[in-house]
Amino acid sequence: MKKARTENPYIWLNDKGIDYRFWSLFQFDFYKTVILAKDKNIVQMKYIDWDHIESMDTSDSRRVIDTVTQHGLKDSMSFQYD
* 46-78 pLDDT per residue, tens: 788 888 888 998 999 999 999 999 999 888 888
Split at pLDDT 50, 70, 90, the class of 1 is low
Mean pLDDT of 22-30: 79
pLDDT of the residue at 17 = 65
Torsion of CA 46, 47, 49, 54, to 10 degrees: 120
Answer yes or no: are the C-beta atoms of 48 and 80 closer than 8 Å: no
